Amino acid sequence: MLFSSVPFLFYFLPAVMIVYFAVPDKFKNAVLLVFSLVFYAWGEPKYVFLMLFSIVSGYIFGLLIEKYRGKQASGIFLVISVIISLGVLCYFKYADFFISNINRVTFISIPLLRITLPIGISFYTFQIISYNIDVYRKCVPACKNIVNFGAYVALFPQLIAGPIVRFKDINIDLVSRKHKLDMAAVGIARFCTGLGKKVLIANSFGQLCEIFKVSGEKSVLFYWIYAVSFTLQIYYDFSGYSDMAIGLGSIFGFHFPENFNYPYISKNITEFWRRWHISLSSWFRDYVYIPLGGNRVSRKRWILNVCVVWMLTGFWHGVGWQFIMWGALYAVLLIIEKMFAGKFFARIPSFVSHVYVMFFVIIGFVLFNSDGIGGAFYDITAMFGARGLPVITAETVYYLKSFFVMFIIGIIGSTPLIKYISDRLRNGRMRKAYALLYPLILCLIVVLVTAYLVDGSFNPFLYFRF
């Protein structure tokens, strides 16, 4: 079930809220757990049992790790819990990838399993792993209440595509959160904003990407238009979903971590990854990079650590060599910045460094969205005129004109400008007018989104596949 769907907006969410706020506080987590399982089972009925297995497994191992803390058994239980979690993830997400590559190398024909990928498995698996590691590290106590733990893992606002919420982030909220009207109001506003970003902006750029794919009159400029379109689509798609998740969490009394901080204004790749998918970047930093030694090792070992982390980051995003290469691209860029170019980027004009960042981000997303390594090579070389395509065609001009206003909206909206203006209006002399207009703008967004959805328009969600 998508957040940006009529069943969720007008049936599921109202039902959750009515029941949730009607029951006593001691039953609220149980209500969230039940509705979260229903939410998941809506599109993945059989895989709800896999989620239940993951919840029970993570819960039991958390108790065992804490019970034997300080003893060798605690470490053994941690290793077993991580192996089980990663084993489940690898089986359902990567089995066919490994089989197909073994077949290609050995020239044998092991049948593919053709397993459907359980939605959100990458996200809730990482949450369970981080919980068990944090229990082992004494960062959090083991959760004694399986309903609370189940609610943490299955919580529907962040279940499908994050942000990756750690147990220590919401441990207190799970036990004793407060429900405030102002917090709920902020959550509703955040949800509506994310909904508009997803449906009205991301879907528009998604339509242009689909038009490009079926076009029979591609040109060099059309390839660049497609590349920029996808770069904007994935930002509004994923950051919009994160906004909706954080907003829903706020409505129910939770404080979810931020996941995006205007990444397209970054002046180097290091900064970009501090601003893009923050919860994933920090997860790999704390549970992979630092345990490997981080940067407190020899230079060769540090380079290896960076390569391992970013190739895993790429592989986490999808099944295919293009995702591994996407991660490797960022590994190379980050190593170059750290070893050679850091001081250079600090001295050059911000505009130049910004162009550098966006160039590689756009190229990276073309690789990310390609049909394998061969498809990526074709698309990227076509962007630079190496495929004998015309520089521009009549069709390219038509779609550039048709989507010109949307590009302006998309580019401006990816910067802090709108937030800056909004803050000035809210806190300035026009704050009374702003207080009246802001709710009306949010209502208009909901009306437009509803019309869009009822019309049955294009409404994919990119991060479902992760």
Question: Considering 113, 144, 177, which residue would you say is the last residue of a domain?
Answer: 177
For residues 100 and 213, state if they share a domain.
no
For residues 341 and 242, state if they share a domain.
yes
For residues 129 and 269, state if they share a domain.
no
Tokens representing 63 are 């108790």
For residues 44 and 158, state if they share a domain.
yes
In a domain, 339, yes or no: yes
In a domain, 207, yes or no: yes
CA distance 159 to 35: 12
Cα torsion at 454, 458, 459, 464 (round to 10°)? 150
The number of folded domains in the chain is: 2
In a domain, 1, yes or no: no
The greatest distance separating any two alpha carbons of the chain, rounded to the nearest whole angstrom, comes to 73
Tokens representing 401 are 């004109």
Q: What distance lies between CA 282 and its chain's CA centroid?
A: 13
Can you give the pTM of this predicted structure?
Answer: 0.93
Q: Report pLDDT for 465.
A: 53
For residues 363 and 294, state if they share a domain.
yes
For residues 195 and 137, state if they share a domain.
no
CA distance 142 to 150: 13
CA distance 389 to 244: 41
Residues 6+ positions from 198 with CB-CB distance below 8 Å: 3, 4, 236, 237, 240, 241, 244, 461
CA distance 184 to 2: 21
Which one-letter DSSP state was computed for residue 142? P
Nearest Cα neighbor of 135 from 83, 194, 81, 97 is 81
3-state SS record for 90-150: HHHHHHHHHHHHHHHHHCCCCCCCCCCCCCCHHHHHHHHHHHHHHHHCCCCCCCCCHHHHH
Tokens representing 24 are 């006593």
For residues 163 and 293, state if they share a domain.
no
Q: Which residues are catalytic?
A: 317
SS3 226: helix
Tokens representing 133 are 């590691």
For residues 127 and 193, state if they share a domain.
no
For residues 152 and 290, state if they share a domain.
no
The dihedrals phi and psi of 96, each to the nearest 5 degrees, come to: -65, -30
Tokens representing 363 are 């190229």
Tally of residues, the chain: 466
For residues 364 and 458, state if they share a domain.
yes
In a domain, 235, yes or no: yes
**Residue found under tokens 């998740």:** 245
CA distance 225 to 219: 10
Nearest Cα neighbor of 250 from 189, 339, 297 is 189
Tokens representing 110 are 């092991």
In a domain, 161, yes or no: yes
**Residue found under tokens 């497609």:** 226
For residues 262 and 319, state if they share a domain.
yes
Per-residue CA distances from 452 to 167, 188, 448 (Å):
37, 20, 6
Tokens representing 443 are 């209502």
Helices (H), 348-393: 350-368, 372-383
CA distance 316 to 94: 10
In a domain, 126, yes or no: yes
Residue-wise over 172-207: b if at least 16 C-beta within 10 A, else e? ebbeebeeeeebbeebbbbbbbbbbbbbbbbbbbbb
In a domain, 413, yes or no: yes
Please check whether residue 1 is in contact with residue 39, taking contact to mean a CB–CB distance below 8 angstroms: yes
Residue-wise over 38-56: b if at least 16 C-beta within 10 A, else e? ebbebebeebbebbeebbe
Question: Considering 130, 161, 177, which residue would you say is the last residue of a domain?
Answer: 177
Q: In the chain, which residues have pLDDT < 50?
A: none
Question: Considering 157, 177, 197, which residue would you say is the last residue of a domain?
Answer: 177
Q: Report pLDDT for 343.
A: 75
Cα torsion at 142, 148, 149, 152 (round to 10°)? -120
**Residue found under tokens 């630079």:** 384
CA distance 130 to 465: 21
Q: Is 460 left (phi over 0), alpha (psi -120 to 50) or beta?
A: beta
> Using alpha carbons only, how large is the chain's radius of gyration in Å?
23
For residues 260 and 236, state if they share a domain.
yes
Domain that holds residue 453: 183-465
In a domain, 224, yes or no: yes
CA distance 192 to 254: 17
